[in-house]
Amino acid sequence: MRRIPTAVLISGRGSNMAALLEAAADPSFPADIRLVLSNRPGASGLERAAGFGVATQVIDHRSFSDRAGFDAALDQALTTAGIQLVALAGFMRLLTPDFTRRWTGRMINIHPSLLPAFKGVHVHQQALAAGVRLSGCTVHFVSPEMDSGAIIGQAAVPVHPDDNADRLAARILAMEHLLYPAALALVANGQARLIDGRTAFAAGAWRAVTLTADLDG
Ligand code: GRF
């Protein structure tokens, strides 16, 4: 089986990155994670990645005067490493439309809400303020507009009446760690593809990325 050379981009603790690396430790996983790249030198996920024996690289966005310069350096690093698929995992930089277009259909992201609800930041506070009974997480193809690309998979979790943002975040994060490896696998093995702005699935493949948590979990 051909494994797709993949990079994970982080800015922080990297728990989703770790979930992806754990999945990719299985030689039958279709993505070969060869590089973890951070825009922040202090990201704790870098040490975690090194613990998995994966190459790490820092491209500090503060060394660039504009987004285009940073994105060009990022693109070069990915190309040099032979990367064909990119997974954003808590990567807190907006990417330029040019970069995003270059990686169309080959770059995915995880967001901790059921998109299209609650884009951007302070997502769990947004969900609690709206009074929704279900929230969750979404893996999507990255498009130039933030948190708006074609949805690949979602996991729903209940919002409990006594939740605060931290409790809700933790319940969703546990599902992120299941959903993201499943979604990356489908993209890497071609069972989920971006076609005309929508995700097209091989027969039955959507089931692997349509998850629901227990009500009392
Ligand atoms: C996750 O909640 C992810 O959905 C969001 O940022 C957070 C990153 O957490 N995009 P981690 O760095 O993967 O632990």
**Residue at a domain's end among 103, 130, 165:** 103
Query: Is the domain of 77 the same as that of 126?
Result: no
Residues 127 and 209 in one domain: yes
Task: Assess whether 212 and 176 both reside in one domain.
Answer: yes
pLDDT computed for residue 1 by the predictor: 81
Confidence of residue 217 (pLDDT cuts 50, 70, 90): confident
User: In terms of domains, do 158 and 129 share one?
Assistant: yes
The reply to whether 79 and 135 lie within a common domain is no
Active site residue 61: no
> Do both 82 and 125 map to the same domain?
no
Same domain, 31 and 121: no
Ligand 1 probe mutation, 173, 179, 180, 184, most atoms within 8 A of CB: 173
Among the atoms of ligand 1, which is closest to the Cα of residue 15?
14
14 Cβ closer than 6 Å to some ligand 1 atom: yes
- Closest ligand 1 atom, residue 173 Cα: 2
Distance CA 217, CA 158 (A): 8
Q: Which of 78, 103, 128 is the last residue of a domain?
A: 103
Do 175 and 194 lie in one domain? The reply is yes
End-to-end CA distance of the chain: 37
Among residues 85, 105, 96, the alpha carbon closest in space to that of 192 is found at 105
The answer, yes or no, to whether any atom of ligand 1 lies below 6 A from the CB of 140, is no
Q: Which atom of ligand 1 is nearest to the CA of 112?
A: 4
CA of 129 to the centre of ligand 1 (A): 21
Which of 71, 103, 135 is a domain's end point?
Answer: 103
Please tell me whether residues 99 and 116 are part of one structural domain: no
Count of domains for the chain: 2
176 lines ligand 1 (CB under 6 A): yes
Could you read off the pLDDT of 9-38 as tens digits, one per residue? 999 999 999 999 999 999 999 999 999 999
pLDDT tops 90 at residue 114: yes
Are residues 3 and 85 located together in one domain of the fold?
yes
Co-location of 99 and 122 in the same domain: no
- Answer whether the bond into residue 30 is a cis peptide, omega within 30°: no
Q: Taking residues 85-95, what's their average pLDDT? A: 96
Q: How far is CA 125 from CA 78, 119, 165, 189, 213, in A?
A: 34, 11, 6, 36, 20
Give the range of the structural domain holding residue 145, as residue numbers without chain letter: 109-217
pLDDT at residue 29, as a whole number:
98
Which residue among the candidates 111, 124, 140, 177 is catalytic per the annotation? 111
The pairing of beta strand 134-141 with beta strand 55-58: unpaired
Average pLDDT over residues 41-54: 97
Q: How far apart are CA 10 and CA 87, in angstroms?
A: 9
pLDDT of residue 7: 98
40 and 74 share a domain?
A: yes
CATH of the domain at 28: 3.40.50.170
- Flag whether pLDDT at 6 surpasses 90: yes
